[in-house]
Amino acid sequence: MTIPVLDGVDTVLCEDGIITAIGRAEDLRALIDDSDVVLDAVGSTVAPGLIDSHCHVVLGDYTPRQKTVDFLASYVHGGITSVVSPGEIHAPGRPHSAIGVKALAIAAKTCFDNFRPGGMRVHAGAVVLEPTLTREDFADLQRAGVHLAKFGFGLYKDPADGVDQVRWAQEHGITVMCHSGGASIPGSQPITPDHLMKLAPDVCGHVNGGPTALSVDGVDAIMDRTDMALQLVQAGNLMSSIRIIRRALDSGQFHRIVIGSDTPTGTGVMPLGVMKTVAELSSLAGLDPALVWAGATGNNARTWGLPSGFLREGAVADIVVMDAPWGSTADTALGALAVGDIPGISAVITDGTVRALKSRNTPRAARLASANPPQAHLDVGH
């Protein structure tokens, strides 16, 4: 498999929030000199911002599950520039009626369309599938712009009874993520491989466990008999994750691997949750870190149809600048990930705007990016 690293490239140009050119500084000098802000990465690593494909948002930058404020802004300091909601299931008193679940999904989507905590983009408003929802309800949701759904927390006597709602959602352009494995919150039910085969969602949520993993035979059946995306999360079973990602690579199915944190949950608030998963899978599974990083960026973007996740012309300019941390045995960010170290982030950019310098959550980067003109208001952290 081709490792997604751009050779012979040292410059990324952004305008109006979009990447407009990638190449060498010597070829782009006139455009660089004409830029409003120039960020010097001093030879360190530039990568697409991480996408957390399983982040439990509710409303605002607050998590009722952990009673923590500003957690999303803190995730930006962990290199996460976008998150995907698996449904606002932690909302106190969450409704189950058709009108209630539609209202919650539409409200969450609309609020986060207008709210960018820490500069990140929140893809929210995943409708939680319930037996009360009809085909017409999904037409309503589609008209309101809702494009996400989650199965696994509705009031179904048997999870297999949710086939109609999953199909109606998909018919209306809604990407369906399904819980898998053991029950994770009171009132929910285990979702078995047989349920998943029948439901046929677009994404098998936390196939490595959320937090309890599926059986080896069950995972293999999902991989061999379906084409759903396979989500690996920090709040799951690490042994299962390593086995799944190795098997996906061996069978030419790495494009199905998507990475998330599945936090905040009982596991806690984890600004470095996605970065930690990339480090664990790179080091313990012996995989190229750039490839694993793609599982948390481009693969997520393709699966959910997101505008970021790539370093290429036309993509949204969501970018992370990072390096080996002080004291690491490695001398680059990718080398650090390969030995299991968390890289030091020295800049986070979303929509072409510098949002953070000197991450307050990662170790200090050995080489620190600098901005011209200086961005003194961002010079915090480390």
H helix runs in the chain, sequence order = 29-33, 71-76, 98-113, 135-143, 163-171, 193-199, 216-225, 238-250, 273-284, 289-295, 298-304, 333-338
pLDDT of residue 1: 73
We report the CATH number of the domain holding residue 321 as 2.30.40.10
147 and 79 share a domain?
Answer: yes
Retrieve residue 59's tokens: 């409303």
298 and 315 share a domain?
Answer: no
Please indicate, yes or no, if residue 6 is contained in any of the structural domains.
no
256 and 320 share a domain?
Answer: no
Please indicate, yes or no, if residue 79 is contained in any of the structural domains.
yes
- Residue 297: which of 288, 306, 287 has the closest Cα? 306
pLDDT of residue 380: 58
Please indicate, yes or no, if residue 264 is contained in any of the structural domains.
yes
Q: Which of 93-97, 126-130, 208-212, 370-374 has the lowest mean pLDDT?
A: 208-212
227 and 98 share a domain?
Answer: yes
List, for residues 249-280, the tens digit of each pLDDT value: 999 999 999 999 999 999 999 999 999 999 99
Which helix (H) or strand (E) segment holds residue 13: the answer is: strand 11-15
Instruction: Sort 85 into a burial class: Cβ within 10 Å, 0-12 / 13-18 / 19+.
Output: buried
Please indicate, yes or no, if residue 77 is contained in any of the structural domains.
yes
Please indicate, yes or no, if residue 371 is contained in any of the structural domains.
yes
CA distances from 87 to 61, 111, 205, 226 (A): 15, 14, 12, 23
pLDDT of residue 181: 81
Please indicate, yes or no, if residue 120 is contained in any of the structural domains.
yes
360 and 295 share a domain?
Answer: no
Retrieve residue 375's tokens: 């961005």
Rg of the chain on CA atoms, in Å = 20
Retrieve residue 224's tokens: 């061999």
Retrieve residue 266's tokens: 């009982």
Range of the domain at 181: 50-304
We report the CATH number of the domain holding residue 225 as 3.20.20.140
Please indicate, yes or no, if residue 320 is contained in any of the structural domains.
yes
Please indicate, yes or no, if residue 191 is contained in any of the structural domains.
yes
260 and 323 share a domain?
Answer: no
33 and 74 share a domain?
Answer: no
133 and 37 share a domain?
Answer: no
Distance in angstroms (rounded) separating the CA atoms of residues 317 and 119: 12
160 and 258 share a domain?
Answer: yes
Distance in angstroms (rounded) separating the CA atoms of residues 129 and 283: 37
Band of pLDDT at residue 210, cut at 50, 70 and 90? confident
Distance in angstroms (rounded) separating the CA atoms of residues 163 and 169: 10
pLDDT of residue 376: 74
- Identify the residue with better confidence: 183 or 111: 111
What are the strands, taking DSSP E only, across 146-278? Answer: 148-151, 175-178, 203-204, 229-233, 257-260
pLDDT of residue 212: 87
**3-state secondary structure (DSSP) of residue 334:** helix
Please determine, for residue 382, whether its predicted confidence score (pLDDT) is greater than 60: no
Please determine, for residue 99, whether its predicted confidence score (pLDDT) is greater than 60: yes
Instruction: Sort 97 into a burial class: Cβ within 10 Å, 0-12 / 13-18 / 19+.
Output: exposed
Residue 220 identity (one-letter amino acid): D
Q: Which of 36-45, 111-120, 371-380 has the lowest mean pLDDT?
A: 371-380
39 and 101 share a domain?
Answer: no
**Beta carbons within 8 Å of 244's beta carbon, 6+ residues apart:** 207, 208, 219, 223, 230, 232, 257
Q: What is the mean pLDDT of the chain?
A: 95
- Residue 181: which of 195, 192, 171, 170 has the closest Cα? 192
Band of pLDDT at residue 187, cut at 50, 70 and 90? low
Please determine, for residue 12, whether its predicted confidence score (pLDDT) is greater than 70: yes
252 and 322 share a domain?
Answer: no
61 and 41 share a domain?
Answer: no
Domains identified in the chain, total number: 2
